[in-house]
C-alpha cells in the first residue's frame, strides 16, 4: 500500500537534513507504529507524506497504491486515499463542522469521479458515525474545533476519518494531551476503522497508546532513519529500557 524507499528530506529554510534514508512498507490491513525520541524525524515523515510546505525531498520515493505521491498537491494525496490526523488539530472559526465535512467528502468524491453525497444521505451517515464516537449533535453544529477540548478535537478528527474512508491513515502523536478516558475513546474509534483494505501508520512517543491500538509492526526511528523493526514486544522494550539501547550503533 505505502512504499517508501531511501527517503531523504531537508528543511528548505535551514538546509538541514531531517530524514536520512527512510525505508518503510505499510501493507493493507496492517497497523504500523513508529516510535522514537524527540528530533528523530517521526513527525517530519508524516508532514512530507501529507505534502506540507517547508520540506524538500532530496532523494528517494514514496508511493501509495502504486502512485507517486511526492509530486502531488495535498488535496490530490487526500483524494488518492491518504489522511493525516494532526498532533494539534487546527480550529477553523466561522466554518461549521457539518459544512466542512460535507464539503470534504464531496470534494474527494468529485476528484475520484464519483457521485456527490446528497444532504439527506450525508446527514444519515454522519449522525450514525458521530453516535459511535460519542459526539453529540451540538458538536456537529459548532465551528470546526472551536472551543473543543483536546479529546473532542481528536474525536472530531476520527469522525473526519470515518467519513472520508481513506486507504491510509497517518496518526501523528494523536495521544498528545489526552487523558486516559479520551485516549481509550479515540482508540476505539480508530480500531473500528481497521479493515483488510486500509493501512495505518501510528506515530507516538509512548507505548501507552499501543495498549489500545494494537500494532502489527513497530519501528524505532533515530536520527532520521528507521534503526529497528519488530513486533509489539518492541514497544514494551522501549517502555522498559528507553531508546538509548535501540539507537543505531548501540
What is the domain-level CATH number for residue 240? 3.40.50.300
- Kindly state whether residues 2 and 51 are assigned to the same domain: yes
Looking at the structure, tell me whether residues 116 and 177 fall in a common domain: no
CA pair distance 44, 70, nearest whole angstrom: 14
- Does one domain contain both 77 and 172? yes
Does residue 67 share a domain with residue 20?
Answer: yes
* Same domain (yes/no): 74, 3: yes
Give pLDDT tens digits for 14-32.
Answer: 888 999 999 999 999 999 9
In a domain, residue 194? The reply is: no
pLDDT of residue 19: 96
pLDDT in tens, 177-192: 677 877 887 788 888 8
Please report the pLDDT score of residue 249 as a whole number: 42
Residues of the chain with pLDDT under 50: 248-250
Whether 97 and 139 have beta carbons less than 8 Å apart is answered as: yes
Classify each residue of 231-246 as buried b or exposed e, where b means 16 or more C-beta atoms within 10 Å of its C-beta.
ebebbebbeeeebeeb
Number of H helices, E strands in the chain: 8, 12
Q: How many domains does the structure of the chain reveal?
A: 2
Cβ-based neighbours of 222, under 8 Å, separated by 6 or more: 36, 37, 40, 243, 246, 247, 248
Asked if residue 109 and residue 131 are part of one domain, the reply reads: yes
Whether the CA torsion 81, 40, 228, 58 is positive or negative: it is: positive
Cα pseudo-dihedral 94, 44, 222, 4, rounded to 10 = 120
Range of 159's domain? Answer: 89-166
Looking up cell 474527494, which residue turns up? Answer: 108
Q: Judge if 72 and 176 occupy the same domain.
A: yes
Same domain, 55 and 177: yes
pTM for the whole structure: 0.87
Considering 166, 193, 223, which residue would you say is the last residue of a domain?
Answer: 166
72 located within any domain? yes
Amino acid at each position: 500500500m505505502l512504499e517508501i524507499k531511501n527517503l531523504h528530506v531537508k528543511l528548505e529554510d535551514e538546509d538541514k537534513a531531517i530524514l536520512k534514508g527512510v525505508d518503510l512498507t505499510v501493507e493493507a490491513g496492517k497497523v504500523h507504529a513508529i516510535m522514537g525520541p524527540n528530533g528523530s524525524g517521526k513527525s517530519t515523515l508524516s508532514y512530507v507524506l501529507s505534502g506540507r510546505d517547508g520540506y524538500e525531498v532530496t532523494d528517494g520515493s514514496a508511493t501509495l497504491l502504486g502512485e507517486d505521491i511526492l509530486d502531488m498537491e495535498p488535496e490530490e494525496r487526500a483524494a488518492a486515499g491518504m489522511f493525516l490526523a494532526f498532533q494539534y488539530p487546527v480550529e477553523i472559526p466561522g466554518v461549521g463542522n457539518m459544512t466542512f465535512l460535507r464539503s470534504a467528502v464531496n470534494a474527494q468524491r468529485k476528484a475520484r469521479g464519483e457521485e456527490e453525497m446528497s444532504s439527506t444521505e450525508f446527514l444519515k451517515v454522519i449522525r450514525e458515525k458521530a453516535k459511535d464516537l460519542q459526539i453529540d449533535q451540538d458538536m456537529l453544529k459548532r465551528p470546526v474545533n472551536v472551543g473543543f477540548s483536546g479529546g473532542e478535537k481528536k474525536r472530531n478528527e476520527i469522525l473526519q476519518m470515518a467519513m472520508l474512508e481513506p486507504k491510509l491513515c497517518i496518526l501523528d502523536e494523536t495521544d498528545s494531551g489526552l487523558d486516559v478516558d479520551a485516549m481509550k475513546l479515540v482508540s476505539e474509534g480508530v480500531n473500528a476503522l481497521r479493515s483488510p483494505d486500509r493501512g495505518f501508520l501510528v506515530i507516538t512517543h509512548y507505548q501507552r497508546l499501543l495498549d489500545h491500538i494494537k500494532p502489527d509492526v513497530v519501528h524505532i526511528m533515530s536520527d532520521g532513519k528507521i534503526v529497528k523493526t519488530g513486533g509489539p514486544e518492541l514497544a514494551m522494550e522501549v517502555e522498559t529500557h528507553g531508546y538509548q539501547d535501540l539507537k543505531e550503533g548501540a
